[in-house]
Amino acid sequence: MQATGMSANNLSVFYGEKEAIKSVSLEFAPREVTALIGPSGCGKSTFLRSLNRMNDTIGGVRTKGEIWIDGENINDPGVDVVLLRQKIGMVWQRPNPFHKSIYENIAFGPRYHGIRKKKQLDAIVEECLRKSALWEETKDRLHSSALALSGGQQQRLCIARSIAVQPKVILMDEPASALDPVSTAKVEELIAELKKDFSIIIVTHNMHQAARVSDKTAFFYMGKVVEYDKTDKIFTNPSEKATDDYISGRFG
C-alpha cells in the first residue's frame, strides 16, 4: 500500500450564489496528519467534503478549481467518481456504521471491490479491526449488530471500515466531537498509528486535539486559508494576527 499526498489548487465551492470556499490552494504531504481548524461556518467541512466530491450528493453545490491525487484532477468531468472515492476514505462526526454486523461493516467494501474468497475477507476484517484496536473487544461477536457497540467503538469501527478498501488518504470530519474523553483519546491514538500508512486530513473544533495529533495545520476563516504551516509554528508563533486571536480563544 502506498500513501500519496493530495493537493487543491484554486478551489472554490459555491452554494447557489454564495461562495463558501474562496480559491483555496493547499498541499497535503503523504503520511502526515493535516488539521483544518477555524470557527464554525468558515468552510473547513465544505472543503473537506469537496476532496472526495461528497458535495455532489447535495443539490445546488458547484465546484471550481483543481484537486489532484495520483496524477488525476478529481474535478475533471471525465473522472470516475466511484473509483476515486475508493482512494479517499472518510470518517464522519457522528459514528455511522451500517445497520449490519461488525464483520459485514468491514467486509462490505472489499467484497464489492472484487474480493470474494471468505479466507481473504476474514483476514481483511481481522487486520482492519486490529489496526483500529477493536479486535480484542469484538472478535467473539463479529456477527452481531454493529449498532450494539458503544459510540467510541462504533467510531473506531467506521475507521476500520474505511481502511478496509485500502484508501490512500483518509478524511476525518470532527471524528471525536461526539465522543467521551476516553474514546476521544483512543481515536487520537489510532490517528497517530494510522499515519504510518495513510495521509490524514482532519477537521476539528478542538484546538488541543489539532495540536496533539497533527503535523501541519491550516487555519480557515471566511472561506479562505489564512495560514498554513507546521503545527508547532501555528500554535507557538503564528505569523498572522487572526490565527493568533483564534487559537488564543479571542473569537470563534
Partner 1 sequence: MEQPAVNDQSRVKPKTERTMAKPHVMEEWVGRVFTTLCIVVLVVTIAAIVYFVASRGLATFITNGVSLSGLLSGLKWDPEGEIPLYGALPFIFGSFSTSLLAAVIAAPLGCCAAVFMTQIMPGLGKRVLQPVIELLAGIPSVVFGFVGLSIVVPFLRSVFPGQGIGIAAGSIVLSFMILPTITTIATDALSNLPRGLKEGSFALGATRWQTIYRLVIPTTLPALLTGVVLGMSRAFGEALAVQMVIGNAPHIPHSLFESASTLTSVITLDMGNTVMGSAHNNALWSLALILLAMTFVFVFVVRFLERRNNR
Partner 2 sequence: MSAKTADRIATAVIIAISGIIVLLLAGLLGYILFRGLPHISFHFLTSGPQTIKAGGGIGPQLFNSLFLLVLTLIITIPLGLGAGIYMSEYAKPGKLTDSIRLIVEVLSSFPSIVVGLFGLLVIVNVFGLGFSLFSGALALTVFNLPLMVRITEQAMKGVPREQKEASLALGLSRWKTITSVMLPIAMPAIVTGTILAAGRVFGEAAALLFTAGMSSPRLDFTNWNPLSPFSPLNPFRPAETLAVHIWKINSEGLAPDATQIAAGASAVLIIMVLIFNFGARWFGRYLHRKFTATK
Q: Which residues sit at the interface with partner 1, rule CB under 8 A?
A: 2, 4-7, 9, 27-28, 30, 68-72, 80, 82-83, 114
CA 205/CA 36 separation, integer angstroms? 9
109, three cell numbers:
467494501
Angle, helix 151-163 to helix 102-112, in steps of 10 degrees: 20
20, three cell numbers:
463558501
89 touches, from partner 2, partner 1, none (C-beta below 5 to 8 Å by class): partner 2
Q: Where are the alpha helices (DSSP H) in 91-150?
A: 102-112, 118-131, 135-138
113 binds partner 2 (CB under 8 A): yes
**Distant-in-sequence, close-in-space partners of 12: CB < 8 Å, separation ≥ 6:** 19, 21, 22, 23, 24, 63, 64, 65
The site map against partner 2 for 25-54 (x = CB under 8 A) is ---------------------------x-x
150 binds partner 2 (CB under 8 A): no
The H or E element spanning position 247 is helix 241-247
Phi, psi of 235 (to 5 degrees): -90, -15
131 binds partner 2 (CB under 8 A): no
- Segment interacting with partner 2, rule: CB under 8 A, options 77-85, 121-129, 212-220, 224-232: 77-85
45 touches, from partner 1, partner 2, none (C-beta below 5 to 8 Å by class): none
From candidates 44, 131, 156, 161, binder to partner 2 by CB under 8 A: 161
State the residues that interact with partner 2 by CB under 8 A.
52, 54, 57, 59-60, 82-90, 92, 94, 96, 98-100, 108-109, 112-113, 144-145, 147-148, 158, 161-162, 164-165
